[in-house]
A and B are shown apart, each in its own frame.
Chain A
Amino acid sequence: MIVAGCDIGSLTAKAVIMENGNILADAVMRAKTRPSESAVEVMQMALEKAKLTMDDIKYVVGTGYGREQIPFVDQVESEISCHAKGAWQIMPSVRMIIDIGGQDAKATRLDDNGNVARYIYNDKCASGTGRFLEVMAEALEVPLEKLGELAATSTEKLSISNQCVIFAETEVVSLVNEGKEIADILNALHHSLAKRVSSLARSIDVRTDVVMTGGVAKNVGVFNALSEALGLPLKALSGVDPQLMGALGAAYYAAEKVGEMKDAGIELRGHNT
């Protein structure tokens, strides 16, 4: 039985196609202005990779910021639930998930059965979200995906005193003018972001194992800084792109639903493109 999960975020759109618990194909792309367009396009990308058509997909679960606008979904689930579901399936020892998205950050605590026990998020202030790094990457003229490796070459410890993105950007510009190294500034920015996100996580009690999901998790600088800020080593989710966690969780929801329906004797037809 083939199912799919589709995660339409503010910055990127993700899709995962799954058959009996195995990932057949996945796709990630920069989000378009209209969430519905992003959804159709990213799904098409994944289908092409899997050499399938929409008709082969029995059930689709949508998630993310733009989930209500996805034209082809059978069911929608919150990002919190999907990230939890995805992480739990990959690593049953996980008790806390920290997801830094393009315009929010969330910390979710799971109970011993993988259910969401508590969560907290910030989407009010751009500081402590992926946007913080995006703005800084632009100011420093460094590609977003290079931030982690560049920061790893840092030799001087700097600190950023402003939390506000707008003020911190000015501070970064003056550090550049003072002749400070880009790598050192980036390292300081990663620690600043980590400090902000760790206080969010602490407010709902940190339990191990802690994993990081979302696109920012690929930035090794933030990953390490967050471990340091929390005072415990974050676990890496092996084998899966952390950015796909929402879509993956959505696909697991779809697989579960298909299983339930099968048990109930409901026949599922394919999707018409």
Chain B
Amino acid sequence: MSIVAGCDVGSLTSKAVIMKNRKIIGSHIIKSKPRPGESANTVLEGALLSAGVAKEEIQYCIGTGYGREKIEFVDEVVSEIRCHGKGARWMLPTAEIVIDIGGQDCKTMKLDKDGNVSRFSANDKCASGTGRFLEVMARVLNVDIEELGRLSAKARDPITLASTCTVWAQADVIKYLNSGVPIEDIGAGINSAMASRVAILVNTIKPEGDIFMTGGVAKNIGVVETLEKLVGRRIKKTRRADPQMAGAIGAALLSLEKINGSEKPESMNTDFTSQPSVQERSS
């Protein structure tokens, strides 16, 4: 009976998951507070409450995300990349490619047989192609992110945003709004612009197999569908858990491995070719 926790403190939201024997028994998500430490405490409390367990019962806790270094109660911190990979594989066992669009970055990963990340590419230099882009645009259109996603399906004549830069695109969107272009057509253009930016990153890791999307933008149907067209493969959905929780789930799974030892014993001379860990960063 091992009870573990994972805590993912992101720039926009903080998530915590409590797991017992690889099953989620409690979880919580909040909007991040100015201080990552505070976010972590609050979100863990919420998760403990929903699981009905006391903090003392947690045998191991791993922290991840942008604010991971500021979490007081963790036993260990692990990169978001690793946690998202683990979490995604648990949520969708056939996932080979993971796209995680965060509040201020975008990461794409390729997973090996064991759910470890073999390649990744990320953008955290430019707001375009990150959750922030959609956030800025949703504010201009005065809709929420999910609503923005649904606009694509209603569009008749989507606009094309000429600029990649969030600042210039925002100015263009305001111009379209002022000249009376329907909000659906503008929203569809925004979702397409976002998807094409993410597709560039996905294509750098040469996608194969099933694609799984984590992070809040996975809930924007307009971006997801355009991205499917641009990458030429389906983005698989799962009901096992909220895709936004993938990082925290991965952290909890790694906690479990820590106290149980790796579930699969490390076999020597495995038959699959172990790919060298290629780390790519592009902005």
Contacts and interface: CB of A to CB of B under 8 A. Distances in A.
A11 to B, nearest CB: 12
Interface in A95-135: 103, 124-126, 131, 135
Interface string A166-188: 11001000000100000000000
Contact of B164 (A124, A166, A170): A124
A208 to B, nearest CB: 32
Nearest to A10: B171
Contacts of B132: 166-167
B127 interface: yes
A164 interface: yes
Interface residues of B, number: 13
A165 interface: yes
Given A167-B104, A177-B34, A126 B165 contact: yes
B166 interface: yes
B129 to A, nearest CB: 11
Nearest to A126: B167
A124 B163 contact: yes
Contacts, number: 35
B138 to A, nearest CB: 14
A166 B127 contact: yes
Interface residues of A, number: 14
Interface in A114-159: 124-126, 131, 135
B126 A126 contact: no
A167 B165 contact: no
A36 interface: no
Contacts of B163: 124
Interface of A: 103, 124-126, 131, 135, 162-167, 170, 177
7 smallest CB-CB distances across A and B, nearest first, come from A126-B167, A166-B127, A125-B165, A165-B167, A164-B126, A166-B166, A164-B127
9 contacts: A124-B165, A125-B126, A126-B166, A165-B167, A166-B127, A166-B132, A166-B167, A167-B127, A177-B34
